[in-house]
């Protein structure tokens, strides 16, 4: 972590610490997001037992026969629910698809919110009911941790602490268990995940099963990042960068192929992409627009921006 310049912060200092600890958390988080775009967080509410059980069932799901997994793939949903097979997604502007297959759990809408009509129902795996239960529980825990992270970000930006609360309630967030499969032949230009920035507000990533994640430093160097078991790595996405007019930085990252002697191994990863509601405006905040930093982006809603990006990465026609 230190090689990448990523600070490690304690979320409990923000949630239940003293006024001084809370203020320090806000400043350290904001500074990291301006300079690096990533932080590591502990005491986030996702316990080791849930994480380990979920990883166990993620591996069981991806070990199912191909014809079984394909039953859970619905291309009409643009990859927003269920199974997404190898070769479907690529990084923006990449010529070849990433070497991965994945699954998407989406929002389970609370109350009589009319936004329910915007979301497809979650697809559930009949063979592994525990996979569904653990995935949706992790979704709720990570969404809650993300809510606190956004409250800290709001304070750093001089906004009301609850600025994001209504904008992410029943938001279009996604939990994505990923399987980067064994490399069976020379991959040419393909990598496990090409260089990209995340679309959403923030991403919360629990420790992966193997190395491979790298971030692009300000010096233009690729630096390896590995989360400790009790940590989440939380990074800024493009929606937050856009909202803050580049004040907070959406850092380019990738997942590289392992050394040739490890080509026969798999890698598993479970990011949570925290999205707002589709009607949230991503227009640059007035406080982030100055003569020195004029507005860099056209006005757009989160839903419109998501549709643009899903087309760019190949999940939507």
Domains identified in the chain, total number: 1
Task: With CA atoms as reference, report the closest residue to 157 among 216, 223, 220, 240.
Answer: 240
User: Is 247 part of any domain?
Assistant: yes
User: Is 122 part of any domain?
Assistant: yes
In the chain, alpha helices (H): 11-16, 19-35, 48-62, 66-70, 129-156, 165-168, 238-243, 302-312
Measure CA 228 to chain center.
17
User: Is 207 part of any domain?
Assistant: yes
Per-position pLDDT tens, the chain of length 317: 444 568 899 999 999 999 999 999 999 999 999 988 889 999 999 999 999 999 999 999 999 999 999 999 998 888 899 999 987 765 666 555 677 899 999 999 988 999 999 999 999 999 999 999 999 999 999 999 999 999 999 999 999 999 999 999 999 999 999 998 877 666 655 555 678 899 999 999 987 545 678 888 877 888 888 777 788 999 999 999 999 999 999 989 887 776 677 776 788 999 999 999 999 999 999 999 999 999 999 999 999 999 998 888 777 66
User: Is 177 part of any domain?
Assistant: yes
Give the structural domain span for 274: 2-312
User: Is 317 part of any domain?
Assistant: no
User: Is 37 part of any domain?
Assistant: yes
User: Is 242 part of any domain?
Assistant: yes
User: Is 145 part of any domain?
Assistant: yes
Domain harbouring 45, CATH code? 2.60.120.330
Instruction: Record the pTM.
Output: 0.90
């Amino acid at each position: 972590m230190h090689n990448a310049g990523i600070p490690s912060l304690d979320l409990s200092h923000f949630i239940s610490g003293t006024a001084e600890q809370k203020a320090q958390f806000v400043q350290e988080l904001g500074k990291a997001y301006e300079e690096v775009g990533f932080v590591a967080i502990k005491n986030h509410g996702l316990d080791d037992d849930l994480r380990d059980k979920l990883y166990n069932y993620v591996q069981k799901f991806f070990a199912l026969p191909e014809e079984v997994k394909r039953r859970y793939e619905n291309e009409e949903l643009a990859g927003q629910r269920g199974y997404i097979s190898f070769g479907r997604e690529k990084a923006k502007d990449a010529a070849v698809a990433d070497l991965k297959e994945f699954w998407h759990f989406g929002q389970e809408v609370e109350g009589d919110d009319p936004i329910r009509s915007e979301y497809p129902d979650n697809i559930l795996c009949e063979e592994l009911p525990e996979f569904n239960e653990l995935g949706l529980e992790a979704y709720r825990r990570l969404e809650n941790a993300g809510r606190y992270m956004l409250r800290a970000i709001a304070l750093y930006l001089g906004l009301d602490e609850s600025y994001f609360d209504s904008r992410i309630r029943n938001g279009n967030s996604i939990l994505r268990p990923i399987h980067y499969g064994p490399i069976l032949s020379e991959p040419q230009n393909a990598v496990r995940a090409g260089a990209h920035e995340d679309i959403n507000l923030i991403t919360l990533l629990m420790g992966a099963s193997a190395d491979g994640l790298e971030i692009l430093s300000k010096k233009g160097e690729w630096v390896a990042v590995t989360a400790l078991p009790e940590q989440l790595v939380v990074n800024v996405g493009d929606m937050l960068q856009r909202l803050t007019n580049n004040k907070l930085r959406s850092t380019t990252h990738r997942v590289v192929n392992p050394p040739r002697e490890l080509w026969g191994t798999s890698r598993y990863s479970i990011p949570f992409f925290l999205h707002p509601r589709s009607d949230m405006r991503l227009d640059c905040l007035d406080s982030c627009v100055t003569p020195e930093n004029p507005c860099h982006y056209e006005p757009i809603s989160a839903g419109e921006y998501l549709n643009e990006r899903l087309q760019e990465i190949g999940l939507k026609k």
